[in-house]
Amino acid sequence: MANELQGKVAIVTGSSRGIGEAIARRLGLAGATVVITARTVEVRDEKLPGTIHTVAAAVDELGGKAFPVAANLMHKEAREQLVETVLKEFGRVDILVNNAAILVPGSTIDFPERYFDRMFEILVKAPHHLCQLVLPGMIERKGGAILNISSGAARHPEKPFTRSFGGSVYGMTKAAIERFTTGLAAEMYEHDISVNALSPSKVVATPGQMYGRTYTQEMLDASEPVEVMAEAGYALLTGDPKEVTGGICYSQGVIDDLGIKAESIGMDAPKPN
């Protein structure tokens, strides 16, 4: 349904590469105007390819309309400027995808406060603040969709415990965003605004995920294609807001529930970086 989102405006944070890029492409393929936003306006490290401009060009090639906006979501003023710019340009925001992320591993006992504050600012406060900025318009129009990208790190570790890579703080932020998702879904139900959280079912070998890590070919072969997250995210964003809301979802589960065949995923668009 190439024109299902025609006339809709979507903001996708952290969309210069990886999962955010894939979701932006999928929304563009459906005819949406997609605001590509991230900090990256030029490639500074070859291991982290992609910029808001290269992704915007890719969305345009798919028949969508892209609008790149540089923004550092660490700062409240930048978040306000982002939404203000979009509203000035297009007059509305119909879809918000909170994907921007930062992961600093480390054990609790000596975890630096500056990184703790930075992770909560980007992973918890920024999504909450962006929702505050776009929801008044959605409520006025009586419709909209919000997707928060989460992670399996939100799950409680299972016994018997083994040595952790030091992801307690990251897990805290993702657990917080999932609780925020269900709470906001309940608040917005009467306004026909869906709110869902989506996590990958398996590791997605994005540039950010692979940065500073060593992946064997076996691990890469077992990873989840980024298009699975994009297709699952698209399904949640376009579902009936009275039925498809308040979900703490995993990508493969969404795909299985919809009966989408693996060979149909990503066939209409070039692969993201």
Tokens 């936003």 belong to residue: 37
174 tagged catalytic: yes
DSSP annotation of 210 = H
Structure tokens at 163: 């040595």
- Could you tell me how many residues make up the chain? 273
- Residue for token pair 């005819």: 31
> Backbone phi, then psi, for 221, in 5-degree steps?
-65, -30
Residue 115 annotated to the active site: no
Per DSSP, the three-state class of 104 is coil
Q: Please say whether the beta carbons of 224 and 200 come within 8 A.
A: yes
Q: Which residue among 8, 15, 16, 170 is the active-site one? A: 170
Rounded Cα–Cα distance for residues 33 and 10 (Å): 6
**Rounded Cα distance, 193 and 213, in Å:** 38
Identified catalytic residue from 15, 16, 150, 151: 150
Adjacent-strand bridge partners of 33: 9, 65
170 is catalytic: yes
Question: 23 and 91 in contact (C-beta within 8 Å)?
Answer: no
State how far the Cα of 37 lies from the Cα of 135, in Å rounded to an integer. Answer: 18
Helix (H) or strand (E) holding 69: strand 65-70
Name the active-site residue from 174, 234, 250, 251. Answer: 174
Catalytically active residues are 150, 170, 174
